[in-house]
């Protein structure tokens, strides 16, 4: 084989450099020096391309990639930077420069893929592992860990692994509570789950992301975006923007929502308003609904024993469902909520003179005696004199 051909084969195979300091030959050094002299990043890139095509397997290829990164950085070419970082990590999985730029650039990558997320995750874990002993690395240790949690949160969010994303974002906020970008991502990851219990903390975070100003704040355009999103979710959940301004100002107080923080859902608002309306238009029914709700609640027995039983019931209204016995009834079944179900049984003393027809509306006052949950029934002892609306005479017999 001729020497010239042999030389070519060796170069192509990535043979050991001929010169010291990793240079393959003088031509490679000339190219690097030309890049140094060139001020325009576009022209630097053209020269780097020449270097890459003439010395693809150069021992200095990772250094060359760092020069690519610098040139792309100067041009604001995010895609070029990320491609280069990816190339560095593919070539050398624990390359720290590639890992640093990978974790910096992966959030918001234009065409993300599972492969890219895997690379990002590995890069983040590399930054969380022990770093070189050099001063610069140790000085940046905390900020690198933060950056790693940021990208891990982003990746887990994109993968739909919400608990992991939440944990990563919470770690980031614990270290940098005024970082509106993380608040926004965290809020969006929570809202993404579309479960009612996540909506309230999501709203807190989104409102905060849109309200934070100064260091750590989002750019104006994104603040507007987050405020718009917070408003939409708030209206969807609460039914109107009432209270949203208060949420925005309160959210500035802490990075995440306090444990006791609540926002009334639209359904709760509607129920509350309906309840208020009922109290205004039919206070007796409203009172009964409240009594029944508490009796059916988890503390129903306590409520019955401590509140309801010791004192006389307020005057209530119901419609007769049954009377027993037919003659001189001492037991009257009533429906109070408007349905056909018997909710209250009046134990009347002395007996009523005759039965009333089904549907007859009466008012009564008495003392609660007992109650059962299934089927629901409240038994009340009533003095005959405390019943009003009982017919004056028996209903005529049907022919």
Partner 1 sequence: MPKRMPILLLLFLVCLIPAAASAQEEGKRIALIFGNNAYSVSPLQNAVNDARAIEKALRDAGFKTILRENANKTAMEEATAEFLQQLGPDDTALFFYAGHGIQIENENFLVPVDFEPASSVIQAKFRCFSMALLFDALKNRPKRSIVILDACRSNPMAKENALESGLAQPQNVGKETYIAFSTGPRQVAADNPNGRNSWFSEALADMIAQPALTIEEVMTRVRARVTNETEGRQTPWSQSSLTTKFYFHAPLNANAENDPTMAEKWMEEARRREQREEWDQAIDLVNRVLQRKPGGTLEELAAADLPYMVARRDAQKRYDASDFSAAAELFNKALDLDPFSIEAAFRGVDSYLLNDGLPEAVRLLHAIRVRGTSAAIEKANTMLKELAPVFPEAGQELNAGVPDPPPIEQLFRGLHFGVPDFDAGRRYLQSSPVELSRQTKELGAAFPPPATVVAVTPDAVAEEHNPLAADNGFRVEVIPTAATRDLAIRRVADSGQPQEFGFVKLVGAEAQVPVIFNGKAIAQQLPVNLQLPIGQYEIRLIREGQITAQQTVDVTANGVNVITVKP
- Interface with partner 1 (CB under 8 A), residue from 83, 87, 140, 369: 140
Query: Using CB under 8 A, which of the segments 137-145, 255-263, 300-308, 344-352 binds partner 1?
Result: 137-145
- Interface with partner 1 (CB under 8 A), residue from 50, 90, 138, 143: 143
Instruction: Name which of 224, 179, 167 is nearest 205 in CA terms.
Output: 179
**Contact indicator for 71, 94 with CB cutoff of 8 Å:** no
Query: Using CB under 8 A, which of the segments 8-16, 165-173, 294-302, 332-340 binds partner 1?
Result: 332-340
Residues 7-26 that bind partner 1 (CB under 8 A): 19-23, 26
Least distance to partner 1 from the beta carbon of 154, Å? 8
Q: Is 341 one of the binding residues for partner 1 (CB under 8 A)?
A: no
Which pairs count as long-range contacts for 31-39, CB under 8 Å and 24+ apart, including other chains?
31/55, 32/60, 32/67, 35/67
Query: Using CB under 8 A, which of the segments 2-10, 112-120, 230-238, 295-303 binds partner 1?
Result: 230-238
* Residue found by looking up tokens 């609306």 in the block: 389
Please give the backbone phi and psi of residue 370, each rounded to the nearest 5 degrees, phi first: -160, 170
Task: Indicate the residue among 26 and 302 with the shorter CB distance to partner 1.
Answer: 26
Least distance to partner 1 from the beta carbon of 103, Å? 9
Residues 354-393 that bind partner 1 (CB under 8 A): 359
Instruction: Name which of 105, 104, 106, 102 is nearest 93 in CA terms.
Output: 102
Token pair for residue 206? 């989104």
Rounded to 10 degrees, what is the CA torsion of 6, 11, 17, 22? Answer: 170
Task: Indicate the residue among 314 and 339 with the shorter CB distance to partner 1.
Answer: 339
Task: Indicate the residue among 156 and 352 with the shorter CB distance to partner 1.
Answer: 156
Instruction: Name which of 74, 79, 77, 78 is nearest 39 in CA terms.
Output: 74
Q: Is 134 one of the binding residues for partner 1 (CB under 8 A)?
A: yes
- Interface with partner 1 (CB under 8 A), residue from 11, 116, 207, 218: 218
Q: How remote is the C-alpha of 84 from its chain's centroid? A: 34
Least distance to partner 1 from the beta carbon of 325, Å? 26
364, containing H or E segment: strand 361-364
Residues 255-314 that bind partner 1 (CB under 8 A): 266-267, 270-271, 274-275, 278, 281-282, 285, 289
Least distance to partner 1 from the beta carbon of 79, Å? 12
Least distance to partner 1 from the beta carbon of 215, Å? 10
CA distances from 19 to 9, 15, 27, 35, 277 (A): 17, 12, 11, 19, 91
Q: Is 213 one of the binding residues for partner 1 (CB under 8 A)?
A: no
Q: Is 188 one of the binding residues for partner 1 (CB under 8 A)?
A: yes
CA distance 251 to 223: 14
By rule CB under 8 A, what count of residues binds partner 1? 79
Least distance to partner 1 from the beta carbon of 360, Å? 12
Task: Indicate the residue among 253 and 341 with the shorter CB distance to partner 1.
Answer: 341
Instruction: Name which of 242, 234, 240, 244 is nearest 211 in CA terms.
Output: 244
């Amino acid at each position: 084989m001729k020497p010239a051909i042999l030389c070519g084969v060796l170069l192509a195979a990535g043979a050991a450099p001929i010169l010291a300091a990793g240079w393959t030959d003088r031509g490679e050094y000339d190219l690097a020096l030309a890049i140094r002299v060139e001020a325009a990043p576009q022209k630097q890139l053209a020269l780097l391309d020449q270097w890459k095509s003439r010395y693809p397997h150069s021992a200095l290829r990772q250094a060359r990639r760092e020069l690519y990164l610098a040139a792309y950085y100067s041009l604001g070419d995010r895609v070029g930077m990320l491609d280069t970082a990816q190339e560095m990590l593919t070539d050398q999985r624990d390359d720290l420069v590639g890992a640093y730029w990978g974790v910096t650039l992966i959030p918001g990558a234009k065409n993300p893929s599972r492969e890219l997320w895997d690379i990002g995750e590995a890069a983040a874990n590399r930054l969380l592992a022990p770093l070189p002993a050099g001063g610069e690395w140790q000085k940046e240790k905390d900020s690198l860990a933060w950056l790693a949690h940021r990208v891990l949160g982003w990746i887990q969010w994109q993968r739909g692994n919400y608990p992991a994303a939440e944990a990563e974002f919470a770690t980031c906020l614990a270290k940098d509570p005024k970082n509106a970008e993380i608040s926004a991502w965290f809020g969006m990851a929570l809202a993404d789950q579309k479960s009612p219990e996540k909506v309230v903390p999501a709203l807190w975070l989104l409102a905060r992301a849109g309200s934070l100003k100064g260091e750590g704040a989002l750019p104006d355009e994104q603040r507007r975006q987050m405020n718009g999103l917070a408003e939409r979710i708030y209206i969807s959940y609460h039914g109107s923007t009432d209270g949203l301004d208060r949420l925005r100002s309160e959210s500035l107080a802490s990075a995440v929502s306090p444990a006791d923080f609540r926002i009334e859902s639209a359904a709760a608002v509607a129920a509350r308003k309906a309840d208020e309306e009922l109290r205004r238009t039919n206070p007796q029914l409203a009172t009964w609904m409240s009594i029944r709700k508490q009796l059916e609640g988890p503390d129903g027995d306590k409520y019955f024993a401590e509140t309801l039983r010791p004192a006389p019931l307020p005057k209530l209204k119901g419609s007769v469902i049954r009377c027993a016995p037919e003659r001189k009834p001492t037991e009257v079944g009533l429906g109070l909520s408007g349905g056909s179900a018997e909710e209250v049984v009046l134990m009347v003393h002395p007996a009523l003179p005759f039965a009333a027809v089904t549907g007859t509306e009466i008012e009564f006052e008495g003392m609660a005696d007992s109650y059962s949950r299934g089927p629901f029934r409240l038994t009340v002892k009533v003095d005959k004199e405390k019943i009003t609306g009982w017919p004056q005479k028996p209903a005529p017999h049907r022919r």
